Amino acid sequence: MQAPAVRQTLAIGSQEFLRFAEGRSSGLANGHRTRWSKLAAMPTKRSGSIHLTRVAGIDLYLHWSWFVVALIEIQIRRGSYNSVIWNVLEYVALFGIVLLHEFGHALACRQVGGKANTIMLWPLGGVAYVDPPERPGAVLWSIVAGPLVNVALFPVFLGAWYAAWHAGWRNTNLDAYRFLANLMWLDGILFVFNMLPVYPLDGGKVLWSLLWFWMGKSKSLLVASWLGVVGTAGLLVLGIWGGSIWTILIAGYMGMSCWRSIKYAQEMMKVDQLPRRDEYKCPNCGQAPPVGEYWKCDLCNERFDTFATRAVCPHCSKHHPATGCPFCRRMGLMEAWGVQPKWVGSATVEHEQPIN
């Protein structure tokens, strides 16, 4: 059921929350970006990305800026090999490792019943657009699986380097030998950096999902995001001190992401405190809907409580067969929420339901 999804817009509390909800229903065609990557300011796959291929049902995109940065980076690193070809190979291999890491996230997310249809590579790394089920365990596994790929790759690179060392490539085939040694280091550095407990890095998200088990989703996200701000500030200082433009850029990107997560967590905490209708449950996340006029009719633009009126707008009598969840942002048919249809046989029927 696709069409009704955009008819009813959640309008809870502040504008921030409303914009967020609207982004879900209209801005994102596929709606499978995760809570955390959705919050991050980064190029979307529609703005200047090349569709490379589709593997296991996952679309792979490459942002155009990757090429620009690749040229600059390869230029800077010239001289570490005798032939620049090896610099190119090393840069491509780095993103090959990043890509495998993102596939780790995407496949783990699918394994636990979530959605993951897109991976994008851009100069600062890769992004897997994953939407795991709203359970801390499912989120934890979707995050941990990425760095685990780096762990699994390490012995492979170590073995290759050791074999090259054993074969005496250091004297006979120096570029290839350095390449293998660098791959091993890159994989190790990627793992260590990603596992820093600084939101929105994987380590920070691991911390978030662990805290989620005993603090709940919103509070744990707030704590992890504030710790992320502290860590990001530290990274920013390091970047300025070391004169590394990339560290500064990554810190800036992380800081923005933390800020948006804090805003989101605060909005979610407000929603958490609302009284609920325990007789109904979201078919997607199992949460009971809040009591109050938090739904907006797209026909008359008035707010109403769709669970009090059983999905009929009291202002214009429009029937809304599907409803958005304020907790997981997904749409579900009212019957799936546990609401018995009241519109059967009424004068304002849009979609008549058969009576069993």
Under the binding rule (CB under 5 A), the answer on residue 315 touching Zn ion is yes
Q: CB of 176: closest distance to Zn ion in angstroms?
A: 29
Using the rule CB under 5 A, is 318 a contact of Zn ion?
yes
Task: Tell me if residue 325 falls in helix, strand or coil.
Answer: coil
Q: Is the CB of residue 344 less than 8 Å from the CB of residue 335?
A: no
Site string for Zn ion, 213-252 (x = CB under 5 A): ----------------------------------------
Residue 226 Cβ vs Zn ion, minimum distance, rounded to whole Å:
21
Binding residues for Zn ion, rule CB under 5 A, total: 15
- 191 belongs to the binding site for Zn ion (CB under 5 A): no
Q: Which amino acid type is present at position 177?
A: Y
- Separation between Cα atoms, residue 106 and residue 160, nearest integer Å: 27
325 contributes a contact to Zn ion by CB under 5 A: yes
- From the list 82-90, 149-157, 181-189, 289-297, the region that binds Zn ion by CB under 5 A is 289-297
| CA distance readout (Å), 33 to 45, 120, 131, 198, 310 | 11, 12, 6, 21, 30
- CA gap 94, 183 in Å, rounded: 7
Judged by CB under 5 A, does residue 288 bind Zn ion? no
CB of 202 to Zn ion, least distance (A): 4
Question: Which secondary structure element, helix H or strand E, spans residue 70, and what is its range?
Answer: helix 65-77
The interface with Zn ion within residues 140-169 (CB under 5 A) comprises 146
Determine the residue type at 173.
Answer: N
Q: At residue 212, what are phi and psi to the nearest 5 degrees?
A: -55, -35
Tell which one of 202, 260, 289, 343 touches Zn ion (CB under 5 A): 202
- Rule CB under 5 A: choose which of 299, 333, 336, 349 binds Zn ion: 299
Beta strands 49-55; 8-10: pairing state: unpaired
Q: By the 8 A CB rule, do 142 and 113 touch?
A: no
Residues at the site binding Zn ion, with contacts judged by CB under 5 A: 146, 202, 282, 284-285, 297, 299-300, 313, 315-316, 318, 325, 327-328
